[in-house]
Amino acid sequence: MATLKPEKISRLFPSRWHRIYTIAKLRSDPLYNAVYNELEGSQLPLLDIGCGLGILAFYLRERDQLFPIKAIDYDQRKIIAAKNAARNHLSLDFIHGDIRDGLPDFSGNITILDILQFFSPKEQATLLRNAALSVARGGKLIIRSGISDNSLRFKTTRLGDRIAKATFWMKAAPTCYPEVHSIVKIMEQSGLRGEAHPLWGKTPFNNYLMVFNRD
């Protein structure tokens, strides 16, 4: 991986907590590099669903990925921070909105990273189906999620999300963690093909990366 200094991205945020969080995420979590590897060189726009502070968008820009990025989150504080951080970047569009009300009009690649656990199984299925519909030909739907199983990693994942709610970092507590096979089934029904594998890095969480393609 090209040397990327987390501090460079963290400096986009005036809040000390946002800077510390961004550095910790970029140092410990293989997520952003994994998504970069999937999207490198793509000519399609990206929709990032549940973007938080927009770390993925800034990471991709820092690594010279210049496709337009639309990113949505229902946490007003995070969207304001992301918009401020994006003021010197072109084609980064941060939108405040609840994706349970539907997705923006879009066709391209889509990322759904660490957000499925906030929804009921029915809401997850609706989101996944709608997202699959918005994947362009030749595009990808990239999902990262904590996966429900009997492991200690899963219990740690759930505890982490509960702490995030208790400390007000997240607006909601986790509702339901999906299983890989239920996601794969919905994707296949939607005409997308792909696979899943663990993506743990230095984290103690039970996270999987799932990448689905529309041919």
Ligand X SMILES: C[S@@+](CC[C@H](N)C(=O)[O-])C[C@H]1O[C@@H](n2cnc3c(N)ncnc32)[C@H](O)[C@@H]1O
Site residues for ligand X per CB under 6 A = 50-52, 55-56, 72-75, 78, 98-100, 113-115, 118, 170-171
Q: State which residue, 62 or 75, has the beta carbon closest to ligand X.
A: 75
H or E stretch at 71: strand 69-73
Q: State which residue, 23 or 170, has the beta carbon closest to ligand X.
A: 170
Cβ of residue 179: shortest distance to ligand X, in angstroms?
Answer: 19
Q: State which residue, 45 or 52, has the beta carbon closest to ligand X.
A: 52
What does the alpha-carbon distance between residue 112 and residue 146 come to, in Å, rounded to a whole number?
Answer: 12
What does the alpha-carbon distance between residue 37 and residue 156 come to, in Å, rounded to a whole number?
Answer: 27
What does the alpha-carbon distance between residue 138 and residue 196 come to, in Å, rounded to a whole number?
Answer: 19
What does the alpha-carbon distance between residue 55 and residue 34 come to, in Å, rounded to a whole number?
Answer: 13
Cβ of residue 144: shortest distance to ligand X, in angstroms?
Answer: 7
Q: State which residue, 68 or 191, has the beta carbon closest to ligand X.
A: 68
Cβ of residue 20: shortest distance to ligand X, in angstroms?
Answer: 15
Cβ of residue 141: shortest distance to ligand X, in angstroms?
Answer: 14
Q: State which residue, 67 or 215, has the beta carbon closest to ligand X.
A: 67
What does the alpha-carbon distance between residue 96 and residue 205 come to, in Å, rounded to a whole number?
Answer: 28
3-class DSSP assignment, residue 157 = helix
Buried b (16+ CB within 10 A) or exposed e, 70-104: bbbbbbeebbebbbebbeeeeebebbeeebeeebe
Cβ of residue 215: shortest distance to ligand X, in angstroms?
Answer: 26
